[in-house]
Structure 1
Amino acid sequence: MLPDKEFLIKLAHTKMPFGQYKDRYLIDLPEHYMVFYHRKGFPKGQLGLMMAQVYELKINGLEYLVRKIKKEYPK
């Protein structure tokens, strides 16, 4: 299932709420960090869904799409 437009807009503007990369946009988290969570398990809820999506985008080289959305739909 593909993420919907509103989900991607929200993902583009969501920041990491905790940890080493607190306050960094999810799309800007390092790939190794996303791989770590992919192995460990993403958090429950909306944040986990977003992080899983970012993981998929990063491993497929598509993070530029979220950056484009972020510019086209400012907060």
Structure 2
Amino acid sequence: MQPEDLQRLVDMEMPFGKYQGRRLVDLPGHYLGWFAREGFPRGELGRLLALMYEIDHNDLRSLLLPLRRRS
């Protein structure tokens, strides 16, 4: 993980699926859990979704609040 990855979670939108257009930070936990079970996409998106899953799973979403306020 790079420090700028946290800002990417706040800025980047989901490019496909049921939650297309929603920022990664706003994806629901059950959706992230589905990816964790079924497999994350390849590349940067998959890496960021896995990071967001870990943040959500460990109840650390509040750590992203300061970054949301800057956006």
Normalization by structure 1: what TM-score? Answer: 0.86
1:51 to 49, 52, 63: 49
Structure 1 unaligned runs (5+)?
none
Q: Where does 1:21-60 land on structure 2 (aligned, <5 Å)?
A: 21-60=19-58
Which amino acid counterpart does residue 35 of structure 2 have in structure 1?
A: Y
Tell me by how many angstroms 1:68 deviates: 2.1
The whole-number CA distance in structure 2 between the counterparts of 1:53 and 1:30 is: 14
When the two chains are superposed, the root-mean-square deviation of aligned CA atoms in Å is: 1.1
1:62 matched to which residue of 2? 60
Structure 2 unaligned runs (5+)?
none
Normalization by structure 2: what TM-score? Answer: 0.90
Which of structure 1's runs of 4+ aligned residues deviate more than 4 A?
Answer: none
Paired residues, number: 71
> What secondary structure sits across from 1:36 in the alignment?
helix
The whole-number CA distance in structure 2 between the counterparts of 1:18 and 1:30 is: 15
The whole-number CA distance in structure 2 between the counterparts of 1:64 and 1:25 is: 15
